[in-house]
Amino acid sequence: QQPVQSPQAVILREGEDAVINCSSSKALYSVHWYRQKHGEAPVFLMILLKGGEQKGHDKISASFNEKKQQSSLYLTASQLSYSGTYFCGTDDSGSARQLTFGSGTQLTVLP
Amino acid sequence: EPEVTQTPSHQVTQMGQEVILRCVPISNHLYFYWYRQILGQKVEFLVSFYNNEISEKSEIFDDQFSVERPDGSNFTLKIRSTKLEDSAMYFCASSNRAGNQPQHFGDGTRLSIL
């Protein structure tokens, strides 16, 4: 069962903040966040483990509530370079050898 | 920074033909993965590979698909008899451990089945 991401799309002005959510119906061991620009490979952003909140790079951070099986990605003071599609990949086995990706959230940052 | 490399970048094949997609994972990585992404859709897991054997595979990875690590550096995905619905971007990824380690993706091979 794939995780559900929301919103499906968001348009921001440079400098604005955004939150992208990822929720699963299964108990999760970890959530992996990736950003994909059009025509390119997904690029790893960060991993959230059970009980952990990890700060990534730039002004992007995330949280993971394992009781609710939810993760949120926070983009603060967005930059033009943040534009792309954000995918969460969930691991419900503990091995992370099979990530199940959500449908993605398309983020567009306008000047 | 080391990266995952994939060849070719674009492959055009007639339906029913066999195709082999090639990947060179990051050299000290031990876990290898194939994903596919149909145009405009999400990334879908196909298979993971560790210690010269498949460790996980999805329902997409049926008997038409196989993976191999023919030597110490390459990791290949073979589709035996391609169908139109196999048209997609295929990504290879690698990680140095499973669990809490990131998977690094290659730039992908765009497979077009005619």
User: What are the contacts of A44-49 at 24+ separation with CB within 8 A?
Assistant: A44/B102, A44/B103, A44/B104, A44/B105, A45/A73, A45/A86, A47/B100, A47/B101, A47/B102, A49/B100
Reply yes or no on whether the pLDDT at A55 is more than 60.
no
Nearest CA-CA partner of A97 in B59, B27, B36, B32? B32
Tell if the CB–CB gap between A44 and B102 is shorter than 8 Å.
yes
- Three-state secondary-structure class, residue A28: coil
Distance (Å, whole) CA A60 – CA A39: 22
Instruction: Tell me the pLDDT tens digit for each residue of A56-92.
Output: 666 899 989 888 899 999 999 999 999 999 999 998 8
The pLDDT value given to residue A10: 97
**Which one of B42, B101, B106 has the shortest CB-CB distance to A102?**
B42
- CA B59 to chain centroid: 15
How high is the pLDDT of residue B96?
86
- Is the CB of residue A98 less than 8 Å away from at least one CB of chain B? yes
How far is the C-alpha of B96 from the C-alpha of B102, rounded, in Å? 8
Task: State residue B100's pLDDT score.
Answer: 72
> Pairing relation of β-strands B19-24 and A43-49?
unpaired
B5-35 burial, b at 16+ Cβ within 10 Å, e below that, comes to ebeeeebebeeeeebebbbbbbeebebbbbb
Quote the minimal CA–CA distance from A36 to chain B in Å.
10
**Residue range B42-98, pLDDT digits in tens:** 999 999 999 889 999 999 999 999 999 988 789 999 999 999 999 999 999 999 876
Q: Which two tokens stand for residue B71?
A: 């030597």
How does pLDDT run across A16-51, given as a tens digit for each residue? Answer: 999 999 999 988 888 999 999 988 889 999 888 877
- Contact yes or no for B41 and A103 at CB 8 A: yes
**Could you tell me the two tokens for B38?**
């149909």
- Is the Cβ–Cβ distance between B42 and B92 less than 8 Å? no
Rounded to 10 degrees, the C-alpha dihedral A26/A31/A35/A40 comes to -80
Residue A79, chain B, CB below 8 Å: the answer is no
